């Protein structure tokens, strides 16, 4: 899966402050939805997280709280969504 994230909280003018990364495809379990994201945005919440939240050693911190896409898989406890549903998510 493609994502945007970081390994270190760097100044915004540093070319490595945000990185395009490839991660293993997650599996939807429980109440999860696996969504094929068609568009995402980096907003003020992401900016604050990038400045103050360090990822675990050797890992990436993925950001992008606002997104729109299509459900491709659901966990076993999901009852109100199904593959093919168009969904969106926005930070509070």
pLDDT of residue 51: 86
State pLDDT tens for residues 3-21.
Answer: 999 999 888 899 999 999 9
State pLDDT tens for residues 45-79.
Answer: 888 888 889 999 999 999 888 999 999 999 999 99
Q: Say which residue, 46 or 28, is predicted with more confidence.
A: 28
Q: Looking at residue 30, which CATH number applies to its domain?
A: 3.90.180.10
Helix (H) or strand (E) holding 20, with range, is strand 19-22
Domain encompassing residue 10: 2-89
3-class secondary-structure state, position 87 = strand
- Count structural domains, the chain: 1
pLDDT of residue 14: 93
């Amino acid at each position: 899966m493609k994502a945007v994230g970081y390994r270190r909280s760097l100044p915004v003018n540093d070319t490595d402050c945000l990185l395009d990364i490839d991660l293993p495809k997650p599996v939807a379990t429980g109440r999860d939805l696996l969504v094929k994201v068609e568009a995402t945005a980096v907003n003020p919440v992401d900016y604050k997280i990038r400045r103050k939240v360090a990822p675990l050693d050797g890992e990436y911190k993925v950001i992008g709280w606002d997104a729109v896409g299509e459900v491709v898989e659901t966990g076993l406890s999901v009852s109100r969504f199904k593959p093919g549903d168009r969904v969106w998510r926005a930070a509070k």
